[in-house]
Chain A
Amino acid sequence: MKLKTGKPQTAEQIDLNRRHAIQSGGLAIAFLWLGGSGIASAAINARRQPGDAAAALADGNPAFAPNAFIRIGTDGTVRLVMPMVEMGQAIYTGSSMLLAEELGVGMDQITVEHSPPSDDLYGMPLLGGQITGGSTSTRGTWQVLREAGAVARTLLVAAAAAQWHVDPSTCTVDRGMVHHTPSGRSVGFGAVASAAGQLPMPDKVQLTDPKDFKLIGKPLRRVDSADKVKGATQFGLDVRVPGMKIAVVKACPTFGGKLASVDDKAARVMPGVVDVLRIGDAVAVVGEHFWAAKQGLEALGITWDLGENANLTTQQLRDALAESALNGKSIVAREVGSRPADGKTVESVYQLPMLAHATMEPLNATVFVTSDKCEIWLGTQVPARVLDVAAKITGLSKDKIIVHNQYLGGGFGRRLETDSVEQALALAKQVSYPLKVVWTREEDIRHDRVRPMYHDRISAVLDANGRPAWYGYRTSGGTVLGRWAPMAMGKDGLDSDAVECVVEVPYEIPSLKVEWIRHDMPPGLIVGWWRGVGSTHNLFVVESFMDELAHHAGRDPLEYRRALLQKNPRSLALLNLAAEKIGWGGQPLPARVGRGIALGEPFGSRVCAIVETEVTPQGEIRLRRAVVTLDCGIAVNPSSIEAQIQGGLLFGLSAALYSEITIKDGAIEQSNFHDYRNLRINETPLVEVHRIENSEAPGGLGEVGTAIAAPALANAIFAATGVRLYKLPVDRSLLVQDANALKRVVSATASSQGRNDA
Chain B
Amino acid sequence: MLSLSVNGESHSVDVPADMPLLWVLRDVIGLTGTKFGCGIAQCGACTVHLDGQPVRSCVLPVGSIGDKTITTIEAIGNTPSGQQIQQAWLDVDVVQCGYCQSGQIMSAAALLKRSPNPSDADIDAAMSGNICRCGTYVRIRAAIKQAATGKLDILQTIVTSPEGSAS
Residues of chain A at the chain B interface (Cβ within 8 Å): 86-90, 93, 106-108, 175, 214-215, 218-226, 228-235, 237-238, 240, 246, 271-272, 288-291, 358-362, 407-412, 438, 440-441, 638-640, 642-643, 646-651, 654, 672-674, 678-682, 684, 686-688, 755, 757-758
CB-based contact A290/B128 at 8 Å = no
Known contacts A219-B158, A221-B93; is A234 also within 8 Å of B32 by CB?
A: yes
Q: Are B120 and A758 interface neighbours, CB within 8 A? A: yes
Q: Which of B16, B36, B137 contacts A650 (CB 8 A)?
A: B137
Chain B residues lying within 8 Å of A288, measured Cβ to Cβ, are 27
B138, A687: Cβ atoms closer than 8 Å: yes
Given contacts A228-B98, A674-B40, A682-B128, contact A106 B164 (CB under 8 A): yes
- Given A88-B98, A108-B165, A358-B133, A289 and B154 touching (CB < 8 A)? no
Q: Is B37 an interface residue (CB 8 A)?
A: yes
Inter-chain CA distance A361–B43, complex, in Å, is 11
Residue in chain B with minimal CB distance to A89: B96
Q: Does B30 contact A (CB under 8 A)?
A: yes
CB<8 Å pairs between A and B, sample of 20: A93-B166, A107-B164, A108-B167, A221-B165, A225-B95, A230-B86, A231-B73, A235-B99, A291-B20, A359-B99, A360-B97, A361-B35, A409-B35, A409-B99, A441-B39, A642-B157, A681-B130, A687-B138, A688-B155, A755-B120
B146 beta carbon closer than 8 Å to chain A: no
Contact A229 B90, CB 8 Å, known A362-B36, A672-B42, A673-B38: yes
| Residue pair B128, A681 in contact (C-beta under 8 Å) | yes
Once the chains are docked, how many angstroms separate the CA of A132 from the CA of B3?
A: 45
Q: Is the CB of B28 within 8 A of A649?
A: no
Residues of A within 8 A of B89 (CB): 225, 229
Instruction: Indicate which residue in B36, B105, B164 contacts A229 across the interface (CB closer than 8 Å).
Output: B105
Q: Which of B42-66 contact A (CB under 8 A)?
A: 42-43, 45
Inter-subunit contact B166/A681 (CB<8 Å): no
- Interface residue B136 (Cβ < 8 Å from any Cβ of A): yes
In the complex, A86→B95 CA distance in Å? 12
- B86: which A residues are within 8 A, CB to CB? 229-230
Q: Which of B90, B105, B127, B157 has the most CB of A within 10 A?
A: B157
| Interface residue? B74 (CB, 8 A) | yes
Decide: A233 near B23, CB < 8 A? Known: A647-B136, A650-B135: no
- B166 and A672 form a contact (CB under 8 A): no
Whether B133 lies near A225 (C-beta < 8 A) is: no
B97 x A87 contact (CB < 8 A)? yes
B72 to chain A: which residues have CB within 8 Å? 231
Chain B interface (Cβ within 8 Å of chain A)? Answer: 15-16, 19-20, 23, 26-28, 30, 32-40, 42-43, 45, 72-74, 77, 86, 89-90, 93-102, 105, 120, 123-125, 127-141, 154-155, 157-161, 163-167
CB neighbours of B43 from chain A (8 A): 360, 673
Q: How many angstroms between the C-alpha atoms of A220 and B138 in the bound complex?
A: 18
**Complex Cα spacing A647 to B58, Å:** 26
Chain A residues whose C-beta falls within 8 Å of the C-beta of B30 in the assembled complex? 240
* Contact yes or no, A221 B90, CB < 8 A: yes
Instruction: Decide if A90 touches B73 in the complex (CB within 8 Å).
Output: no
- Determine which of A289, A291, A440, A681 lies in contact with B137 in the assembled complex, contact meaning CB atoms within 8 Å: A681
B166 contact from A225, A358, A755, A757, Cβ within 8 A: A225
B157→A647 contact, CB < 8 A: no
State whether B37 touches A362 (Cβ < 8 A).
yes
A234-B32, A650-B135 given; A290·B90 CB < 8 A:
no
**How far does the Cβ of B116 sit from chain A's closest Cβ, in whole Å?**
19
Q: Are B97 and A408 in contact (CB under 8 A)?
A: yes
Main secondary structure of the interface of B (DSSP, over half): loop
Are A680 and B166 touching (Cβ within 8 A)?
no
Known: A289-B27, A647-B96. A214 touches B134 (CB 8 A): no
Kindly state the separation between the CA atoms of A511 and B130 in the bound complex, as whole angstroms: 48
Query: Which of B127, B155, B158, B167 lies in contact with A681, CB distance below 8 A?
Result: B127
**CB atoms of A232 and B134 under 8 A apart:** no
A224 partner, pick from B20, B95, B127, beta carbons under 8 A: B95
Cβ distance A652 to chain B, nearest Cβ, rounded Å: 9
Contacts of B102 in A (CB 8 A): 231
In angstroms, Cα B86 to Cα A674, docked, is 29
Contacting pair A229 B101 (CB below 8 A): yes
Say whether A360 contacts B136, CB under 8 Å: no
The answer to whether B23 and A289 touch across the interface, beta carbons within 8 angstroms, is yes
Which of A215, A410, A438, A674 is packed against the most chain B CB atoms within 10 Å? A410
Identity of the chain B residue whose Cβ is nearest the Cβ of A112 in the assembled complex:
B166
Interface centre among B86, B97, B136 (most CB of A within 10 A): B97
Nearest B-chain residue to A690, judged by Cβ: B155
Known: A651-B133, A681-B128, A757-B141. A221 touches B161 (CB 8 A): yes
Top 8 nearest A-B pairs by Cβ distance?
A: A231-B33, A650-B135, A88-B97, A409-B99, A231-B73, A228-B98, A88-B96, A647-B135
- Across the interface, name the chain B residue whose C-beta is closest to A640: B93
> Within the complex, what minimum Cβ distance (angstroms) separates A51 from chain B?
29
A441–B37 CB distance below 8 A:
yes
Contact residues in B for A89 (Cβ distance below 8 Å): 96
With a cutoff of 8 Å between Cβ atoms, the chain B residues found around residue A755 in the complex are 120
Q: Is the CB of B166 within 8 A of A220?
A: yes
Known: A233-B98, A680-B131, A686-B155. A673 touches B136 (CB 8 A): no
Q: Counting chain B CB atoms within 10 Å of each CB, which of A108, A219, A643, A758 scores highest?
A: A643
- Please indicate the chain A residues that have their CB under 8 angstroms from the CB of B35 in the complex: 235, 237, 360-361, 409
Give the shortest distance, in Å, between B51 (CB) and chain A (any CB): 20
> Judging by beta carbons under 8 Å apart, are A407 and B97 in contact?
yes
Instruction: Give Cα A646–Cα B136 distance, bound, in whole angstroms.
Output: 7
Q: Are A218 and B28 CB-contacts (below 8 A) given A680-B128, A681-B124?
A: no
Q: Which residue of chain B has the shortest Cβ distance to A214 in the bound complex?
A: B164
Q: Which residues of B contact A757 (CB under 8 A)?
A: 120, 141, 154
| Interface pair A646/B166, CB less than 8 Å apart | no
Instruction: Knowing A175-B163, A360-B35, A654-B135, say if A224 contacts B120 (CB, 8 Å).
Output: no
B-chain residues with CB within 8 Å of residue A649 when the two chains form the complex:
135
Task: Provide the bound-state CA to CA distance between A646 and B151, in Å.
Answer: 21
A56 to B131, CA, bound (A): 40
Known: A87-B97, A647-B96; 20 extra A-B contacts, CB below 8 A, are A88-B134, A108-B166, A219-B157, A219-B158, A220-B165, A225-B95, A229-B95, A231-B73, A231-B74, A289-B23, A290-B36, A360-B45, A360-B131, A407-B97, A409-B98, A411-B97, A647-B136, A651-B135, A673-B40, A681-B128
Q: Which residue of B lies closest to A92 (CB)?
A: B166
Contact assessment for A647 and B134 in the assembled complex, using a CB-CB cutoff below 8 Å: yes
Pairwise interchain contact B167-A226, C-beta atoms closer than 8 A: yes
Residues of B within 8 A of A225 (CB): 89-90, 93-95, 166
Q: Are B135 and A360 in contact (CB under 8 A)?
A: no
| Chain A residues positioned under 8 Å from B124 (CB to CB) | 681-682
Q: How far is the CA of A703 from the CA of B129 in the complex (A)?
A: 26
Q: Specify which chain A residues have a CB less than 8 angstroms from the CB of B161 in the assembled complex.
A: 221
Q: Which residues of chain B are near A289, meaning CB under 8 Å?
A: 15, 19, 23, 27-28
How many angstroms between the C-alpha atoms of A93 and B159 in the bound complex? 13
Output the residue of A88, A89, A358, A674 with the most chain B CB within 10 A.
A88
Q: How far is the CB of A15 from chain B (nearest CB, A)?
A: 37
Q: Which residues of A contact B130 (CB under 8 A)?
A: 680-681
Given A643-B136, A673-B42, A755-B120, also A220-B23 (CB < 8 A): no
- Provide the bound-state CA to CA distance between A512 and B107, in Å: 52
Cα–Cα distance between A410 and B130 once the two chains are bound (Å): 15
Residue on A nearest B28 in the bound complex, by CB: A289
In the complex, what's the smallest C-beta–C-beta distance from A756 to chain B, in angstroms?
10
Contact A222 B166, beta carbon cutoff 8 Å: yes
Nearest-neighbour CB distance to chain A for B65, whole angstroms, equals: 15
